[in-house]
Amino acid sequence: MTPSSKLLRWVLGWVACGLAASLLPALAPLYWAAGGALLLAACADAWRGWRAPPLRVERQLPGVLPVDQWHTVTLTVRNAGALPVRLEIFDDYPAAWDMEGLPCAADIPPGEWRAQGYRVRPTRRGDDVFGAPHLRVATPLGLWLRGHRLGPGQNVKVFPDFSRMLGQTLMATDRRAPAAGAIRKRRRGEGTDFRQLREYRQGDSLRSIDWKATARQRKPISREYQEERDQQVVFLLDCGRRMLARDDGASHFDHALQAVLTLGFVAQKQGDAVGLMSFGGEPRWLAPHKGRAGFDHLLAGVYDLQPGEAAPDYTQAAGALMRKLGKRAFVVLITNLRDEDDLAMRRACELLGSRHMVLCASLRERALDRAAAADAADFAGALRQSAALHYLLQRREAIQRLGLRASGLIDVPPEQLSASLINRYLDIKESGQL
User: What is the DSSP track for 213-271?
Assistant: HHHHHTS-EEEEEE---S-EEEEEEE-SGGGG-EETTEEHHHHHHHHHHHHHHHHHHTT
Report the alpha-carbon distance of residue 48 to residue 140 in Å, rounded.
7
Q: Taking the domain 55-159, which CATH number applies?
A: 2.60.40.10
Q: Which residues are within 8 A (CB) of 71 and not within 5 positions of it... i.e. 6 or more apart? A: 61, 62, 65, 119, 120, 121, 122
Map residue 31 onto helix, strand or coil: helix
Q: What is the average pLDDT value for the chain, to the nearest integer?
A: 83
pLDDT for 188 beyond 50: no
Residues 6+ apart with CB under 8 A from 393: none
Give burial (CB, 10 Å; 0-12/13-18/19+) of 392: middle
Mapped onto helix, strand or coil, the DSSP state of residue 27 is helix
pLDDT score recorded for residue 179: 38
pLDDT at site 187: 43
Please tell me the predicted confidence (pLDDT) of residue 185.
43
In contact, 197 and 221? CB cutoff 8 Å: yes
The region of weakest confidence among 23-32, 55-64, 85-94 is 23-32
pLDDT tens track for 418-431 = 888 998 898 888 77
- 327-381 pLDDT, tens digit per residue, is 889 999 999 887 666 678 888 888 998 999 999 998 887 777 777 777 877 888 7
Rounded CA separation 264/254 (Å):
15
Backbone angles phi, psi at 129, to 5 degrees: -135, 135
Q: What is the pLDDT of residue 57?
A: 92
Q: Is the pLDDT of residue 177 over 50?
A: no
Q: Using omega within 30 degrees of 0 as the cis cutoff, is the peptide bond preceding 110 cis?
A: no
Residue 344 CA to its chain's centroid (Å)? 31
Average pLDDT of the residues in 175-198:
49
User: What's the DSSP call for residue 305?
Assistant: -
Q: Given pLDDT bands bounded at 50, 70 and 90, which one contains residue 167?
A: low
Give the pLDDT score at 189: 41
For residue range 92-129, list pLDDT tens digits in order: 999 989 999 988 898 999 989 999 999 999 988 999 99
Domain residue limits, the chain: 2-49, 55-159, 164-185+228-431, 193-226
pLDDT at position 168: 57
Q: How confident is the model at residue 181 (pLDDT cuts 50, 70, 90)?
A: very low
Which range (34-38, 253-257, 386-390) has the least confidence?
386-390
Q: Is the pLDDT of residue 227 over 70?
A: no
Q: Is residue 403's pLDDT more than 70? A: no
Pairwise CA distance, residues 90 & 128, whole Å? 18
Distance CA 300, CA 55 (A): 37
> Which pLDDT belongs to residue 175?
46
Residue 211 backbone phi and psi in degrees, to 5: -70, -30
Q: Convert the pLDDT of each residue in 144-163 to its tens digit.
A: 888 888 888 899 999 988 77
Band of residue 214 on the pLDDT scale cut at 50, 70, 90: confident
Fold of 164-185+228-431: Rossmann fold (3.40.50)
Q: What is the pLDDT of residue 195?
A: 64
Maximum Cα–Cα distance for the chain, whole Å? Answer: 129
Instruction: Quote the strand ranges of 24-143, DSSP E.
Output: 55-60, 64-66, 71-79, 85-92, 98-100, 104-108, 113-121, 126-138
How buried is 297 (Cβ within 10 angstroms: 0-12 exposed, 13-18 middle, 19+ buried)?
A: buried
- Report the distance separating Cα 281 and Cα 246, nearest Å: 18
As beta bridge partners, residue 115 has 76
Q: Is 75 exposed, middle or buried (0-12, 13-18, 19+ CB in 10 A)?
A: buried
Do the domains 55-159 and 164-185+228-431 sit in the same CATH topology, yes or no?
no
pLDDT in tens, 309-333: 888 889 999 999 999 998 889 999 9
Q: Give the model's pLDDT for residue 21.
A: 80
List pLDDT tens digits, range 241-278.
Answer: 888 888 767 788 998 999 999 999 999 988 899 999 99
Q: Which pLDDT band holds residue 22 (cuts at 50, 70, 90)? A: confident
Looking at residue 26, what DSSP letter applies? G
Q: Is the pTM of this model over 0.75?
A: no
